[in-house]
Amino acid sequence: MDKVFVQGLEVLTTIGAYDWEKDIRQKLRFDLEMGYDTRPAALGDDLDKALDYAALSKKVTHHAEQNHVELVETMAEQIALLILREFPVHSVKVRLTKPGAVANAAGVGVEIERFAHGSGIS
Ligand SMILES: Nc1nc2c(c(=O)[nH]1)N=C([C@H](O)[C@@H](O)CO)CN2
């Protein structure tokens, strides 16, 4: 399956399990990979047939900015569901990095993969 990806999408939001995290904004970095047949767009050179990575990035940014959760797991799951619900993709991989969370680590986070088929969405 072809992939459309968004790499290093940075969003500032309120996220974290500890009290001191409830009143600050921290950076999240999203790496997204969507399973999508790119041939119709390529053959017609037609954005209307493409998975619009700009529109997708905008929706992900808006969701992450507006929804405050404790765990990176929760945010990753919400973003995967949003993409499966709002875009005609076969699958989505969400790698979510919280760069400032652990001293002496470049980043920590999760990577999940979800599929449209059998998810009740599609
Ligand atoms: N598996 C996880 N572990 C931790 C999380 C998380 O979201 N998933 N979050 C925290 C704190 O919020 C941390 O980021 C503060 O530095 C701790 N462990």
Interval 58-114: pLDDT, tens: 999 999 999 999 999 999 999 999 999 999 999 999 999 999 899 999 999 999 999
What is the domain-level CATH number for residue 105?
3.30.1130.10
Tokens describing residue 22 = 């409830």
Is the pTM of the predicted complex or chain greater than 0.90?
yes
CA 74 to ligand 1: nearest atom: 7
Residue 41 lies in a domain: yes
CA distance 72 to 96: 7
- Structure tokens of 60? 């992900």
In the reported structure, the alpha carbon of residue 17 is separated from the centroid of ligand 1 by a whole-number distance in angstroms of 6
Structural domain span for residue 77: 3-115
∠ Cα 10 17 98 (to 5°): 25
Specify the number of domains making up the chain: 1
Q: Is residue 120 part of a domain?
A: no
Within 6 A (CB) of ligand 1 lie 16-18, 21, 71-73, 98, 101
User: Could you list the active site residues?
Assistant: 98
Residue 46 counted as domain residue:
yes
Structure tokens at 9: 């999408």
Answer whether residue 122 is part of any domain: no
